[in-house]
Structure 1
Amino acid sequence: MKQTKTNELIQQKLAAPDALLLNQIKTMKWTSHNIPLTLSETTLNNQPLIEHDPRTRVIKDNLYWLAGKGGSLAGLRLIDLGCLEGGLSFEMAREDMEVLGVEGWESNYLKCQLIAEYFNLPHLRFAHLDVKKLNRSTYGLFDVVLCCGLLYHLDDPVRFLKTLNEITHDTSILFLDTHIAPSDDQLSSCFAKTALSDITSYQSEGKTYEGRWYKEYEPGLISNHEWTSVSNANSFWLTQTALFKALYDAGFKHLYNLYGAFDIEQEFQLRQQLSRLYCIAVKDAYFKPFR
């Protein structure tokens, strides 16, 4: 763990917690993010801390490699989209970045707000918002975008990637962690095979993209599950080819398939079973050896 100003504040809070807020946090139902609360207590006891999650480590390592100046990420603006319980946002704030976590489900947002209030970090805040309403005029530009576990919950992912173009500049970094539509040959080994449609296509702004529809919940019903989509009963999983095309069409011309979170054989297996892809996308190439 790097010694940052924010980490010093966190260590002080862990050693001298606010008893009232601590009790409120402990009464909430936590489903995913294990965040430290005291020197001996966490939101999900007996599970690995979010700081030790392979995805957290890979994101931080690559950020320091691509954007770290003098070994620091201080001052970078980062947005964590569909931030769930705020754990990844919290971890990014530890690196002295200015972090905005965006969450659509109120039950999750309330947990995020409690974490923000409990630690009272100067550069961590949360917004209760359906990401489809995200816009540049309200939230400004970001140096780093985390879109982890979100894109496959949207019914027009192509349009959303264009929204990400609007809130980023030429050297912003997009981390994308998403399910993709498996091919017919790969469908039988995919965990979500019973909820996926046949390969089909849909149009977004006059262009056609292939993929599969995924049933989030029954049409006409409102889901109360914090891990489903916020405002659509069906979402569209793009094929890998369609996803790369959509990123390119949205202005992210340079794509880097990201490995290294797990042992390579385990990573191959997980990507097949989960039909999942991890990549970095940028508008302007970071490496220009011929210029």
Structure 2
Amino acid sequence: MNFTAHNIQLDNGSFTKPDAMLMSDHPCTISTRKILNLVFPSNKKNYRVVDLGCLEGGYTVEIAKMGFDTLGLEVREESIACCNYVKENLDLPNLNFVKDTAWNLDKYGPYDAAFCCGLFYHFDNPKAFLEKLARNTKKLLILETHFATPLDNGVKEFNLEPMNVHEGLPGRWYYEFDKNLSFEEREKMRWASYENDKSFWIQKEYLLGLIYDLGFTTVFEQFDSYAPNMGEDLNKRYPNSLRGTFIGIRDM
């Protein structure tokens, strides 16, 4: 199996990517556990969580270990092969994977919580995707994504286009790959979009507003993944990374 990032310890004691940080120790994993425990403090087996664009299944595994009924959606052949390998080598009956595009998430819903890490900024119509996701998410949205800003921060680093308006929201276009690439070439680009050659990054303030407008009336950005050196790392890393974790919770 060709694991590009997710280091998962299997039941036999082996690791899927020994040179990488264990997924159980990853700052994003730790932050995700905190939010899931806060919103669903007990009876986790009664709740469904979807991991969208789950890559090699690392976060899906960690959520399943908490006791949730967990589904990972992944579209690429190499990545879903890694996911299935992980499932075969872990005793987690509540861990499930499906090979499909995240745009078909409604086929498998509804979900009590949605975890979307490293995927949202790969869409050319992110508002339409988030609207579909919101319709299928009952309680909690965890959205870890790149965003745009009208400032110059990160523009050169990511080769972003000037500020524009798309789907009625301000943001910037990001080019994923040459539109003339064959499907076979795109299929092998496991860290890029699947179909669209360019993606739209929504300006952060309007992304927060969109989450609220879609019914998640408690909305905030989570920063504890920067701990323990939060002040220093937020000052040095955050401004140009153009990336954050946004939480939406429905009042029920």
Normalized against structure 2, the TM-score is what?
A: 0.91
Q: Once the 2 structures are TM-superposed, how far is the Cα of residue 231 of structure 1 from its aligned partner? A: 1.4
Contact 1:261 1:267 in 2 (8 A): no
Give 2:129's aligned residue.
Answer: 160
> Matched residue of 1:55: which SS?
helix
Between Structure 1 and Structure 2, how many residues are aligned?
245
Q: Once the 2 structures are TM-superposed, how far is the Cα of residue 115 of structure 1 from its aligned partner? A: 0.9
Q: Partners of 1:52 and 1:122 in 2: how far apart?
A: 22
Q: Deviations over 1:207-262 (max 9, x none)?
A: x1010110010113232210101111111000112212322332223211111112
Q: Deviations over 1:164-219 (max 9, x none)?
A: 111122xx11111000013233245x631x2x11110112xxxx101011001011
> Matched residue of 2:29: which SS?
helix
Q: Partners of 2:34 and 2:213 in 1: how far apart?
A: 28
1:106 corresponds, among 77, 82, 93, to 77
Give 2:4's aligned residue.
Answer: 31
> Matched residue of 1:261: which SS?
helix
Equivalences for residues 136-215 of structure 1 within 5 A: 138-169=107-138, 172-187=139-154, 191-192=157-158, 194=159, 196-203=160-167, 208-215=168-175
> Matched residue of 1:110: which SS?
helix
> Matched residue of 1:252: which SS?
coil
Q: Partners of 1:261 and 1:67 in 2: how far apart?
A: 20
Is 1:43 the counterpart of 2:19? The answer is no
Equivalences for residues 62-141 of structure 1 within 5 A: 62-69=35-42, 73-135=44-106, 138-141=107-110
Q: 1:40 and 1:124, CA in 2 relative to 1: closer, same or farther beyond 3 A? A: closer
Q: Partners of 2:235 and 2:11 in 1: how far apart?
A: 37
1:227 corresponds, among 191, 195, 199, to 191
Q: Partners of 1:163 and 1:268 in 2: how far apart?
A: 35
Q: Once the 2 structures are TM-superposed, how far is the Cα of residue 104 of structure 1 from its aligned partner? A: 1.5
> Matched residue of 1:182: which SS?
coil
Contact 1:199 1:210 in 2 (8 A): yes
One-letter code of the match for 2:146?
Answer: H
Q: Partners of 1:39 and 1:267 in 2: how far apart?
A: 38
Give 2:25's aligned residue.
Answer: 52
Q: Partners of 1:271 and 1:168 in 2: how far apart?
A: 28
Is 1:282 the counterpart of 2:244? The answer is no
Q: 1:191 and 1:115, CA in 2 relative to 1: closer, same or farther beyond 3 A? A: same
Q: Partners of 1:98 and 1:62 in 2: how far apart?
A: 16
Q: Partners of 2:49 and 2:8 in 1: how far apart?
A: 19
One-letter code of the match for 2:22?
Answer: L
- Tell me the percent identity: 31
Larger Rg computed on CA atoms:
1
Q: Partners of 1:140 and 1:65 in 2: how far apart?
A: 22
One-letter code of the match for 2:157?
Answer: F
Q: Deviations over 1:54-103 (max 9, x none)?
A: 0101110221122112xx53332100001000010011111111000001
Unaligned 5+ segments in structure 1 are 1-27, 286-291
Contact 1:212 1:236 in 2 (8 A): yes
Q: Once the 2 structures are TM-superposed, how far is the Cα of residue 38 of structure 1 from its aligned partner? A: 5.1
> Matched residue of 1:88: which SS?
helix
